Structure 1
Amino acid sequence: MKEKVVLAYSGGLDTSVILKWLCEKGFDVIAYVANVGQKDDFVAIKEKALKTGASKVYVEDLRREFVTDYIFTALLGNAMYEGRYLLGTAIARPLIAKRQVEIAEKEGAQYVAHGATGKGNDQVRFELTYAALNPNLKVISPWKDPEFLAKFKGRTDLINYAMEKGIPIKVSKKRPYSEDENLMHISHEAGKLEDPAHIPDEDVFTWTVSPKDAPDEETLLEIHFENGIPVKVVNLKDGTEKTDPLELFEYLNEVGAKNGVGRLDMVENRFIGIKSRGVYETPGATILWIAHRDLEGITMDKEVMHLRDMLAPKFAELIYNGFWFSPEMEFLLAAFRKAQENVTGKVTVSIYKGNVMPVARYSPYSLYNPELSSMDVEGGFDATDSKGFINIHALRLKVHQLVKKGYQR
């Protein structure tokens, strides 16, 4: 009886060749296709997998779970890798790998396989998730397998093998970039973009219009949160209202994209130590992250916010590096969920030519006291108390200077 392997399958050249290669090595290959919002023909992908040799194909719609359990969870900690990247690819990988493990367990498979390269982050994200959720599963990673690498030294070898085995290859002109698309973002790498001094051509961008070409008209959105989670979006101009999590996020993508929101061009540090340039389009999440942070401004205690902000870079790093299912992630999420208990209310954002600007906010748990903050009203605050407050904090500075001058003498 053949050993079973569940292959994370996209329908592209690499995973199609891997599928056939695994079949020829004697495996019973079950192809698994994750729908996380990419614009693919899943019927055609399933048909291609079966023709290539898969004994069974799972096409799993993970979009709603992606939004509620992954994107919104990352939002709780304002996850942003190296202060800029909203982690669209990294957030999707643990979900994809988790479902792959579940299918392997259901099918009684001994192996899981993926097509991630040996230079990138995804190999780590997939394999750490496999290890965390089912350490008994064996992993086949062809792009780290000496036998596979000896046979396939580059794209030409893959194409020749596909043609020899009758694997359909798209004849349409391929975009000269390596791209990853899901509900949260689309990323663009490689090609001309490998030169960090090269300014991206406008045709790189497939989701968003250029801010220069965006409508010369403001869009006002009112975004509602409960315990840090988005629950409703209202367009204050045309009355459009979305409360379903998936529809809400798709609507934010739509509004953001047509207004040129969410473009990012950066050089980042991959987990394995290589620097990589990525060009990203993340319209909906950009709007949410800005609105959420603004609501925290009136609802979160100062010290709680500052502690959370100290932990946020580590949170983003854990997501980027593939440690979603780790003890340290459980620890951080417990703290972040506690910190979000009063992050309830609404924020109005003005969206205009690539910009997202909070212009109003309200919360029933607001810590903002107009009378205490007013420059015109005392509001029970005794200004003379500030003298002692400053003196206490100045003491340490005075001592430091006296000691410093003593050393100099």
Structure 2
Amino acid sequence: MVVLNNLHCSLSSATGNVLFLPAGHHSVSSNTRLFNGNVFSRSKNQRVTIRNSSSQPYIDQLNNAKLIYSVAPSMGHNKKSHPESHFRVPSIVLALEQLELTPEFRDSGEIIEIKDFNPASVDDIASVHERDYVSLLEFLDSTMKKDVVFNIGGGPTYATETTFQDSMVAAGAGLALLDSVVAASKINKDPPVGFALIRPPGHHAVQHKPMGFCVFGNVAIAARYAQRVHGLKRVFIIDFDAHHGNGTNDAFYDDPDVFFLSFHQDGSYPGTGKFNEAGAGAGEGATLNLPLPAGSGDAAVRAVFDEVVVPCAQRFKPDIILVSAGYDGHVLIPLAQLQFTTGTYYMLASGIKELARDLCGGRCVFFLEGGYNLESLALSVADTFHALIGDPSLASEFDDPNVLCEEPKAQVKEAIQRIKHIHSL
């Protein structure tokens, strides 16, 4: 039993049960939801009505929404004891239900879940990755025997018999959300923000191989889709995962129409994302990497957002904002030491939503990346949802300030000043 202030989270890896009991909310029995392929059988998807269509009932429904989300848990893509496990998305979904952040608890229609959507096409994936790599992963998917797991790429990354199809579904869930957000923006000056609760994550995957738990670059694929299908030429990508999104960085390194901005822990995996990695050729200046010292914490992120993210976005003038939303910088996760809290993610989500509203007609989609402590992941995503629908944060109920160390304010200030000098902010 893990206790964090007024919230209790009980996890049994044997049955896959995760139970959240927030103070002030109804109790839910431990067998409410099992994490298995029967409950989360979302790989059998049908085409969502909004995908490349103009279904009027769905358009009308979007008019009242503040947040739309899709779920692709990739239950078959799993390796025992691996941190990037099939428990991740179900733990988030269960927390959303118990914190009443799902459609059945919001009769006003302010939250919508897209349940039926097509997987991404090979052409969608090939807009970022080499076709030979896509074909190889499909071949492994079709020839692999049940329960056999291969380590592939770096990270270590793994593949199972369902990895190819699961990854296509995950990318498709993000594209369906993008379609919906764009459709809503045509009828509403304040359209809903999208959040793709998907895995495997994507921001480390490079053109020709998987890497760092990531298979296909979901955000990068969505950026090319936004340009190709919706004519949204200028795409601004914010990556707040604790680790540098090297795959996304590389995909657009020489592209002036996609601005990639990442702040991450200095010296962490995969060792890229230095100050001087700022784009090349026509794309010089359209990549910004801000490595932060360990222990940076909430105040540092607020300074980064106000002094770096906002002026960069204002100068770039994007048509849409996409977000690699990684939650592995949380203080409860040992893979990084950034000391982010649930409140950090609430602040970031609020700021990004406002930025999208001010600069690009509210068009904004979040994509789940890292986050491997099920408790902190679920609660941080839930508080992100609170931010995106305009509800107060519940971070004070979840976060314990006693576990935080003093922030290295001088080092953070120096890093911000350095990046502002390099990019003339």
What band does the TM-score fall into relative to the shorter chain? under 0.3
| TM-score, normalised via structure 2 length | 0.22
Q: Write 1 or 2 for the structure with the bigger share of strand.
A: 1
